[in-house]
């Protein structure tokens, strides 16, 4: 069900809309559709036409890809005010990933047709889109390089470091992740198995690096994970 929202200050920080004046942002907001999405619903499936750009306003979502062997890989978790489905900006493509809402959320969206009109009125959006796509390609290349070349301990450390940079909450005993996160999720994000993730987390708990519950993880020593991720020697 669609709902109306006031102009949020975070809209100007979304990569596509950075640098635009307030009247332009108001126009962009008026052309959006806002709705609530229940946990475990999909915004889009892998292979669907890329016909909508989404921005997560509340909640969490995860971007997944199914390999040719049928294995699911979680590429990332999206936090509030992240842009999802950026291929809709250029139109005519398909989503290379699926996007599942990980908890009850609110999203706003723009169709490809609406985006075409906004691009004509505000050329800065096209410049921002080019910059965003370039950064997105670099991040994706880095992720797949890690999956292909790094030891599993390095990949898991990189995964946890990315998550705490996105949604970590500083506490007295480290950085807690403000998200429900299972060991299977970590396995899919790190390109390994549930058994391997459990073994490594148990080892890291004994070393005082993390505290891992059933669906929660606290990173007690981010520096320790950096040492593992970069394959450094203490």
Strands 105-111, 72-78: parallel, antiparallel or unpaired by DSSP? unpaired
How many angstroms separate the CA atoms of 38 and 104, rounded? 5
Residues 84 and 183 in one domain: no
Same domain assignment for residues 121 and 182:
no
**C-alpha distances out from residue 119 to 40, 49, 66, 78, 126, Å:** 32, 20, 32, 25, 6
Mean local confidence (pLDDT), 78-93: 89
Give the integer Cα–Cα distance in Å for 126 and 231: 39
Inside any domain, residue 2: no
Does residue 14 have a pLDDT over 90? yes
The percent of residues above 90 in pLDDT, for the chain, comes to 59
Q: Domain ends where: 148, 181, 200?
A: 148
Tens digit of pLDDT for each residue in 51-64? 999 999 999 999 99
123 and 170 belong to one structural domain: no
Which residue from 155, 167, 174 is spatially nearest to 212, judged by alpha carbons?
174
Residues 137 and 187 in one domain: no
When pLDDT is cut at 50, 70 and 90, the band that residue 2 belongs to is very low
Mean pLDDT of 33-53: 95
Confidence grade of residue 141 (pLDDT, cut at 50, 70, 90):
confident
- Average pLDDT estimate for 164-168: 84
Q: Which of 99, 131, 148 is the last residue of a domain?
A: 148
b (16+ CB within 10 A) / e for 93-116: eebebbbbbbeebbbbbbbbebbe
Q: What are the angstrom distances between the C-alpha of 8 and each of 24, 44, 106, 114, 226?
A: 13, 25, 13, 20, 35
Q: Is 193 in the same domain as 79?
A: no
Provide the CATH number for the domain around residue 48: 2.60.120.10
Cα end-to-end distance, the chain, whole Å: 54
User: Quick one: pLDDT at residue 1?
Assistant: 42
Domain with 34 in it: 9-148
Q: What's the mean pLDDT in 170-186? A: 84
CA distance 79 to 230: 25
What three-state secondary structure class fits 49? strand
Kindly state whether residues 38 and 105 are assigned to the same domain. Answer: yes
> What is the reported pLDDT for 232?
65
Q: Are residues 216 and 119 in the same domain?
A: no
Which pLDDT score is estimated for 70?
Answer: 72
Residues comprising the chain, all counted: 234
Indicate the residue among 148, 173, 201 that finishes a domain: 148
55 and 113 co-located in one domain: yes
Residue 155 sits in a domain whose CATH number is 1.10.10.10
Backbone angles phi, psi at 4, to 5 degrees: -100, 145
Would you say residue 4 lies in a domain? no
How many domains does the structure of the chain reveal?
2
Mean pLDDT, residues 85-102 taken together? 90
Same domain as 164, residue 135: no
The answer on 124 and 167 residing in a single domain is no
pLDDT digits (tens, 9 = 90+) for 195-221: 999 999 999 999 999 998 877 888 999
């Amino acid at each position: 069900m669609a709902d109306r929202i006031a102009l949020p200050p975070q809209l100007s920080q979304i990569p596509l809309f950075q640098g635009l004046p307030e009247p332009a942002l108001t126009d962009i907001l008026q052309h959006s559709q806002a709705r609530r999405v229940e946990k475990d619903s999909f915004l889009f499936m892998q292979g669907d036409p890329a016909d909508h750009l989404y921005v997560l306003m509340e909640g969490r979502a995860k971007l997944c890809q199914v390999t040719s062997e049928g294995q699911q890989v979680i590429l990332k978790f999206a936090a509030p005010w992240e842009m999802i489905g950026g291929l809709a900006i250029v139109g005519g493509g398909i989503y290379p990933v699926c996007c599942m809402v990980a908890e009850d959320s609110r999203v706003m969206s723009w169709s490809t047709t609406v985006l075409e009109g906004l691009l004509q009125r505000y050329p800065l959006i096209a410049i921002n889109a080019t910059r965003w796509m370039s950064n997105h390609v670099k991040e994706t290349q880095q992720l797949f390089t890690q999956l292909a070349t790094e030891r599993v301990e390095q990949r898991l450390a990189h995964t946890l470091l990315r998550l705490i940079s996105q949604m970590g909450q500083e506490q007295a005993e480290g950085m807690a992740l403000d998200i429900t996160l299972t060991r299977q999720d970590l396995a899919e994000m790190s390109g390994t198995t549930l058994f391997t993730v459990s073994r490594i987390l148990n080892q890291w708990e004994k070393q005082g690096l993390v505290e891992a519950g059933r669906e929660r993880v606290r990173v007690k020593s981010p520096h320790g994970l950096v040492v593992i991720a970069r394959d450094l020697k203490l």
